[in-house]
Structures are given as C-alpha cells and as structure tokens.
C-alpha cells in the first residue's frame, strides 16, 4: 500500500497541480488531504474544486473552519484579527454556498489500517484541536503527549505548521507534511508525504516539488487579494507572514 498525504494547499492551485502531477509519477494507491484547502491563496475556488475532484478522504483544518465561521478573538494575535477576517471575507466571496457546506461537514481526523501490521492516525494540528501549534523541536515527551495519543497506532501524520519533518519516538514514527501552497521553511517548493507500507515494514518520505512561484505571487495582485504584497512575499520567501 502506497499513500500520498497532502495538506495546507491554501488556495494555491498552481502548486497543487504540480503536486498532483508529481504524485501521479509515484503510482500511489490513494491520496488523502489533511486540511487547509482555500484560505490565504489567490485561487481558492479552483484549489477546492481540484481537491473535491479527487474524491478522496479530506479532513478539516483550522483555515477551513475560519472560512466557514470567521476568525475569532484568541485564535490569532489581536493585531491581526481584522486583517485575517478581511482575507477570509475575500475567500468566501470566491466560493459558492455548497463549497462552504462541504468545508463545514469535513471530519477532523482519520484512522487507517494500511495493512495488518500498520495503523495510522491522521489529523490537522492535534487530535484535540485544529489550532494548537506543535513544532518539530519539541521534546519527545511533549510530542507523545500532544500528538501520539492513540496507543495502537504505529504512525502519526499531521499538518498545520508548514514545516515538514520525520521523527522516530518510542519505536513509532511521527511526521509533518509541510505545506503544498505556503511552505514556511525557506524552500519555495511544495511539500507532501508518501507512506509506502509492505507487511511489517514502512517508509515515510517527504517530497518537495517546484512550482511557478512568480506566477502565484502575481496572481495575488491580479486577482485583487487583500494584502497582496504581504502574501507575495510569503510565497517568494517561503516564510510566515510577519
């Protein structure tokens, strides 16, 4: 069984198309999406339509929740609340009511039996929250407490932080997918994960895929995205917005 896991597309359809083309080359058996489909990208509708056309399992991310009901106090720094809700409103205006209904009903986690030996637990940020931030450098104890809570799982995959990594803790594997649309690790390439399982053996690989960064940067301007210059810089530098 070989599965591709993608997440944090953030309305970047150009990067998503590049990743889907790369996935096709790997001849995977199936694809799953771990959230954050539309918000903060220049092509939210196209990105969402591409995801829905895959007819694959999709879970909800914090940005999907924001698109449905808005960004609330305490979820982002106070000085950014109005700005992020303005971005959210622009995103909603690009979508249809059925798109919002689709995002609202998404589940928040999946459990997978890849075979008789390997059990996989997937979620967006943590099993308990769409918003908590758990970074790669945290102690093994903290990672186990926040992310590796399903004792019968062998492998745990999550998204949200836009920083891809793989760690082995207590005989089990924990990995972050990074981001298809908005990588934050200084490398302007889309990121996703492939899990290749064969009986009691498995391999987890982080795949990096180039996409037309300058095209996406210009789309923010051409499509009238609010705070377009800020997002152009995010895409070009592969760093979080300041």
Distance CA 217, CA 214 (A): 5
CATH superfamily, domain 2-237, is Metallo-dependent phosphatases (3.60.21.10)
Helical spans, DSSP H, in the chain: 13-25, 44-53, 62-69, 81-94, 97-104, 140-146, 213-222, 228-237
At 39 the pLDDT is 98
Residues in Cβ contact with 23 at an 8 Å cutoff, skipping those fewer than 6 apart: 4, 6, 31, 192
Q: Give the pLDDT of residue 54.
A: 97
What does pTM read for this prediction? 0.97
pLDDT of residue 190: 98
Residue 199: the pLDDT is: 84
For 167, list phi and psi in degrees, rounded to 5: -135, 150
Residue 242: what pLDDT?
82
**Phi then psi dihedrals of residue 149, to 5 deg:** -90, -20
pLDDT in tens, 60-80: 999 999 999 999 999 999 999
Three-state DSSP at 40 gives: coil
What does the pLDDT read at residue 114?
87
Write down the domain spans for the chain: 2-237
pLDDT tens for the chain, 242 residues: list them.
899 999 999 999 999 999 999 999 999 999 999 999 999 999 999 999 999 999 999 999 999 999 999 999 999 999 999 999 999 999 999 999 999 999 999 999 999 998 888 999 999 999 999 999 999 999 999 999 999 999 999 999 999 999 999 999 999 999 999 999 999 999 999 999 999 998 888 999 999 999 999 999 999 999 999 999 999 999 999 999 98
| 55-91 as b/e: b if 16+ CB within 10 A | eebbbbbbbbbbbbeebeeeebeeeebebbeebbebb
CA angle 132, 97, 161 (to 5 degrees): 20
């Amino acid at each position: 069984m070989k599965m591709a896991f993608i997440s944090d597309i953030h309305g970047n359809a150009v990067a998503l198309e590049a990743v889907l083309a790369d996935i096709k080359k790997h001849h995977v058996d199936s694809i799953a999406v771990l959230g954050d489909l539309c918000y903060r990208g220049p092509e939210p509708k196209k990105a969402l339509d591409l995801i829905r056309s895959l007819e694959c399992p999709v879970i909800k991310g914090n940005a999907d929740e924001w698109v449905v009901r808005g960004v609330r106090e305490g979820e982002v720094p106070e000085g950014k609340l109005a700005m992020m809700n303005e971005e959210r409103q622009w995103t909603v205006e690009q979508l249809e009511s059925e798109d919002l209904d689709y995002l609202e009903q998404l589940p928040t986690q999946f459990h997978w039996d890849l075979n008789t030996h390997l059990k996989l637990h997937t979620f967006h940020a943590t099993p308990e929250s769409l918003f908590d931030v758990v970074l790669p450098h945290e102690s093994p104890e903290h990672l186990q407490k926040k992310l590796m809570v399903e004792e019968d799982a062998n492998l745990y995959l999550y998204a949200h932080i836009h920083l891809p990594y793989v760690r082995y803790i207590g005989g089990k594997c924990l990995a972050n997918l990074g981001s298809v649309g908005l990588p934050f690790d200084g490398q302007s390439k889309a990121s996703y994960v492939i899990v290749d399982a064969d009986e009691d053996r498995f391999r987890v690989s982080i795949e990096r895929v180039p996409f037309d960064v300058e095209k996406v940067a210009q789309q923010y301007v051409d499509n009238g995205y609010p705070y377009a210059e800020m997002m152009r810089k995010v895409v070009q530098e592969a760093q979080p917005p300041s």
